[in-house]
Amino acid sequence: MNISLIHRKMYLPVISRLAPTPSGYLHIGNAFNFLLTALLVDFQNGHLHLRIDDLDSPRVERSSVEDIFVQLEWLGIEYDSGPSGPDELYTKYSQQLRKERYCKTLEILRDSGNLFACECSRSEIRQLSRGVNYPGTCLDKNLDFLNENLPWRVHVPDHTFVSLKTLTNKIEKINVTQAMGDFVIKRRDGIPAYQLASVMDDIELGVNFVVRGQDLWASTAAQLFLAQCLNDPIFPAARFVHHRLINDNSGNKLSKSAGSFSLKMLQKKNRRPTWIFRETAKALKLPFQEILTLDDLKEVFRSAALQKDGLLTILEQEK
C-alpha cells in the first residue's frame, strides 16, 4: 500500500518528534534517525517537533545540548516547534521544568494500584533474573512508597500484550511481560524514568508517528502499556517505524562515546553533510550517487516512497 494513500485516509496531521538525549556528542546513528524522521514527516506533510530528553540531569552536559543545535543546523534539518537553542530549552522546554507533572502522574499510577516499591539491589536482580526481566521479588511485599531510596516499578501482569501500528497501519502484538517485565518508573535517585517522561511528552504533544531505532523496541512496548494505564487514546494509535541501527566498522552498535563517529569529529575531518546524506540513502538502499544536498535526498526518498511497495517494504521489514 502506498503511503500517500494512507495519508489521505488519515484525518489527523502527522505529528512526530526528534528526541535526542544530551549525554554525549551526536553520532552518525543519530543523524540517520533524524534524517529518516525528517524525510518521513516531510513526505507526509507532517509536523516535526524537537524534544530534548534532558531529564537525567546527572548525565546531561551543556556541551552536548549545544551540540544538538549545531548538528541540526549543519545537517540543515528544520523542525516546526521546540527550542531554537540552549537558552530557550532551559527556560521553556526542558524536561526539568516538567518534573512536577511527571511526579503527579507517578502518584496517579501509584494510587491506581499499578506500582510497587522495590528494595532489590542491582546484583540481587542480576542473580535472580539471570539476565532476563525483574523476577517479581518485591511485588507482594507492600514496601513503603514513602521510602525515598526505593525505586518504583510498574507491575506488568502475565500475558500482557499491546498493539503496535506500523508505518502502513499493520497491527503487531507485543508481549510487554516478555519484553519488559515489571519495569522501573521512578528511579532509585528519585528521577522519573525515561519511559514515563517520554510517553507523557509524546501524549502532550499529540505525537502520532514515532521513528526510532530497533534498540527501542522494548521501550515502545513499555510506553504503549503506560499510555494504556493513563487512558490516553492518541499514543496507542500512533504509527511506529523501528529502523535498523548504523553500526561501526566492526558491526557494533554506535554509542555516544564512539568519538570517531561523532558528527563533531566528522567535521574536524572536513566531511561534508553530503557524505551523511549519501550514507543515509545507502542505508535505505536508495540511489545515492547524485545526492549533494538534503533536498536531493528528499527527492530521491520521495520518488522511492511513491513507488508501489518500494521504500515502504524496506521500512516495514525493519524492527
DSSP conformation class of 75:
H
> Strand, coil or helix: what is 213?
strand
Least Å from the CB of residue 286 to Zn ion: 48
Least Å from the CB of residue 149 to Zn ion: 13
Least Å from the CB of residue 121 to Zn ion: 9
Among residues 120, 196, 203, 294, which is the contact residue for Zn ion, using CB under 5 A?
A: 120
* Among 13, 38, 35, CA closest to 26: 35
Spatial distance between the Cα atoms of 217 and 219, rounded to a whole number of angstroms: 5
* Among 210, 197, 168, CA closest to 48: 210
Stretch that binds Zn ion, among 7-15, 100-108, 133-141, 302-310 (CB under 5 A): 133-141
Among residues 26, 118, 210, 229, which is the contact residue for Zn ion, using CB under 5 A?
A: 118
185 with 150: CB under 8 angstroms?
no
Least Å from the CB of residue 153 to Zn ion: 7
Least Å from the CB of residue 119 to Zn ion: 6
Question: Binding to Zn ion (CB under 5 A): which residues in 139-178?
Answer: none
> Strand, coil or helix: what is 266?
helix
Q: Is 52 in the site for Zn ion (CB under 5 A)?
A: no
Q: Is 14 in the site for Zn ion (CB under 5 A)?
A: no
Residue 188 vs 271, nearer CB to Zn ion: 188
Least Å from the CB of residue 138 to Zn ion: 3
Residue 135 vs 206, nearer CB to Zn ion: 135
Spatial distance between the Cα atoms of 58 and 313, rounded to a whole number of angstroms: 41
Stretch that binds Zn ion, among 94-102, 135-143, 154-162, 298-306 (CB under 5 A): 135-143
* Among 249, 238, 216, CA closest to 53: 216
Query: What Å distances lie between residue 317 and 31, 159, 166, 256, CA to CA?
Result: 21, 25, 10, 26
Q: Which residues bind Zn ion (CB under 5 A)?
A: 118, 120, 137-138
